[in-house]
Structure 1
């Protein structure tokens, strides 16, 4: 009886000891893994700070003002008005000591390797155009990074063009206002592509990045994904897709469609124009999820059949002409082959008469940029 009892107890003790040893091993492995992750995190963070410091050193005194982090806190502490939030961080309404209103973008400490901050400071500080938002200053204090812009009272274009936003109290813009905004953005992009000392490709043209002042005058913002083209060439080499799903040009995600160049911005601009015309986002077509109907196809069909878009903002024959003009130009901008798209200088053809515009070929692709794997912003 005693022997049997001992035989039943010892295996039990052995199994308990084995489980205990396994737990200890797992705990040690987890600590080691956490330590490696923490080391990698701090190494990466240190590299980011070094990259930014090297950039600021290489470029010498930058023309815009450098603020301390205490300056940034003073700008936004008295108002405490958050204008927006995204993966990059938060944007707050603030004011300078003289009371001048500003928009302050406080960047997330864990966001990227500092490239977006560098792009924003380097590229937008090179610009000076009525249709480009003005960067007034920046803050870089260790891990604390912020950008100070002129304040745009009406916020972004997206609030005013989608039917769904009317329920939120945002009025829709009339046809003449939409036309003026489209031409203003075209002039801003033409300046970036040809008017700067160095050609700049934006890579993220969309309604969210078009800001409106108190008179609804448009200005291009957010240069975090922008690229500078060396010399007079606009063709650049890129690793991976860059931009926002739905607005990415075909050649950006597959070089089989052509070279990445200033024509990639033209494509994004075209999609934005079609959204302004259709009054909805390009991935929210009423055809439903059962059909991969490409948004430009939906617009093109109505152009072919001479159908109206059933928008309440169309109140006269003049409005119809404006919408048709913008539709034709938007579809030219969205041609699959980059060589068939107009330059932004040519896009300012929006100001010409409707009779001079020919209907373009139908874009033959459905949008591959719907894939979540291609989301870069």
Structure 2
């Protein structure tokens, strides 16, 4: 605010000072100009009609034309427009209005003026010669011998104008006729085609006065004819001083008042913006929290369950559309299954999750016996479709995309374990529960078996095994392998990762050799021996990706939870280079070998559900 006040004070003070009488010359010859931005006219120049003749030196005549352009008048009747006057270097820059100064050369007698022609801003041209102009038939050229063409005078079709020094014999001028003779013309002036001319004057020598920021005026009593003088400032009267002081003080308080108003407006706008942000946040938060729908709403959203997407033991999934044309997937739960635990798990878990790799729960329905869950719609269905070929169909996504999907799933699980207020254990990580959006970005779904626990605790108690066979961690089936914890999700992720690499179920009785029935054990043996993994690999980069996914998957399916990495470590391994990974211990060794590697205490603290 202080800066604003100071800024306005300077502005109004400057305005007030501007009302004071300007610096004046004692003889009344104040500098003048034809218009704003035009060169300032002062001694030795004199502006006709606006200054007295005594204000200038003889021959330094300037005037204003009907366009208020400054005009330099040279003998005899030559008029050039003034572009700039340098009083310190005593130089004036001029140009012809029609762009052809040579057209006025017949009227120029530069020797009768106080000016000397300069070939450029720094160089004098003291060479004065006599020239003859010739009008010649045919097309013009730049020069021939000592004969030169004047471009701006050679615009008549079929002819051109040449000039030549009178000191040279007039030969080779066939088809030409003499038009005029010029006397005492600077050679550079007749040949200049730039229309940007410079003239210099040597007397009166006012350059030193100007350099000292003093005035220069005519004084016929002096031998030089001029004198330097200090430009006085006219003293203001008491009334003028009071007027200027009043204006300054009034301007200051006006600026102060305006600053206060602006500052208050700024505070009000800032407060209004803050309130708007709060309102927007509350609106966004309301949109992010799951909405509750009635059964009639569910029927309307699904158009009376018109388009069926899938069916399972949990219920049936239908496609629906919200009022804002957003597609959703509606899972209608079976009324006869369970006691509502799956429904409660889904709503309580997914209602607090907002992550790019987790399916968003848009809303739910709990209307009498009708229960339904409304999710965002993901058009590419589940990962299962793309890693398990059905009836010879090939939906392989490519190794780069498989790696992206694996990394996205790992980040989603890491978020469930560490990113929420309470740790969420999914307990059913498998390809069928990984959905893909339109860009094949993975999203974890189906939290019907999920459990919540504190992030400070490492294990949960369970009365019965939960999950899908083939993905259930050993400790979920038998406590001999340790307590159930978030490491159970790591095991399920590892089994799914190996399925992504192998393109088939982990247990497949349809293979030709019995040794390949349990794929994880088969792939570990080949990896340990440095043999090919038996998959379609096109190049070295694809081989590195397959090897990386295999090693990470084998680390994740270690039998004992404490031997498995956390999901944070899994993400780091997937983002790193395969050369930095080590092959894990064989998870399929005999029970005695595994016990020999166990530390004395592998127990984890247990919490109730």
User: Shorter-chain TM-score: what band?
Assistant: 0.7 to 0.9
CA contact (8 A) 1:201 1:227 kept: yes
- Tell me the CA shift for residue 363 of structure 1: 1.1
Alpha-carbon distance between aligned partners in 1 of 2:494 and 2:474, rounded to the nearest angstrom: 13
Aligned with residue 357 of structure 2, among 119, 122, 131: 131
Match of 2:370 in 1: 144
The alpha-carbon deviation at position 143 of structure 1 amounts to: 0.8
How large is the RMSD of aligned CA atoms in angstroms?
1.9
Q: Identify unmatched segments of 5+ residues in structure 1.
A: 1-61, 367-377
- The answer on whether the counterparts of 1:64 and 1:137 sit within 8 Å (CA) in structure 2 is yes
SS state of the match for residue 138, structure 1? Answer: strand
Write the distance in 2 (CA, Å) between the matches of 1:174 and 1:284: 22
Larger radius of gyration: 2
Could you say which structure has the greater relative contact order, defined with CA pairs below 8 angstroms and 6 or more residues apart? Answer: 1
Q: Which residue is 2:119 aligned to?
A: none
1:199 to 405, 418, 423: 423
Matched-pair contact (CA < 8 Å) for 2:491–2:556: yes
Secondary structure at the counterpart of residue 84 of structure 1: strand
Once residues 326 and 295 of structure 2 are traced to their aligned partners in structure 1, the CA distance between those partners, rounded to angstroms, is 18
Q: CA deviation at 1:365?
A: 6.8
**CA distance, structure 2, for counterparts of residue 236 and residue 365 of structure 1:** 27
**Residue 112 (structure 1) aligned with residue 335 (structure 2):** no
Any residues of structure 2 matched to 1:285-296 within 5 Å, and which?
287=511, 293-296=517-520
Per mean C-alpha deviation after superposition, the further-off stretch among 111-120 and 90-99 is 90-99
Q: Does 1:362 align with 2:589?
A: no
Instruction: Give the conservation status (yes or no) of the 8 Å contact 2:319–2:329.
Output: yes
Equivalent residue, structure 2, for 1:167: 392
Q: Does the 8 A contact of 1:125 with 1:135 survive in 2?
A: yes
Separation in 2 of the partners of 1:155 and 1:236?
32
Aligned to 1:250: 474
Match for residue 122 of structure 1 among 337, 348, 351: 348
Greater strand share, 1 or 2? Answer: 2
Asked if 1:316 corresponds to 2:542, the answer is: no
Contact 1:296 1:363 in 2 (8 A): no
Residues 127-148 of structure 1 show CA distances to partners (whole Å, capped at 9, x for unaligned) of 1111100000000011100000
Following superposition of structure 1 onto structure 2, how do residues 1-377 of structure 1 map, counting pairs within 5 Å?
63-77=289-303, 80-162=306-388, 164-165=389-390, 167-168=392-393, 171-284=395-508, 287=511, 293-312=517-536, 314-348=537-571, 349-364=573-588
Structure 2 unaligned blocks of 5 or more = 1-287, 591-609
The answer on whether the counterparts of 1:285 and 1:295 sit within 8 Å (CA) in structure 2 is no
**Normalization by structure 1: what TM-score?**
0.77
Aligned length: 302
Structure with the bigger percentage of helix = 1
Structure 2-normalised TM-score? 0.48
Q: State the Cα distance separating 1:306 from its structure 2 match.
A: 2.6
Partners of 2:567 and 2:436 in 1: CA distance: 20
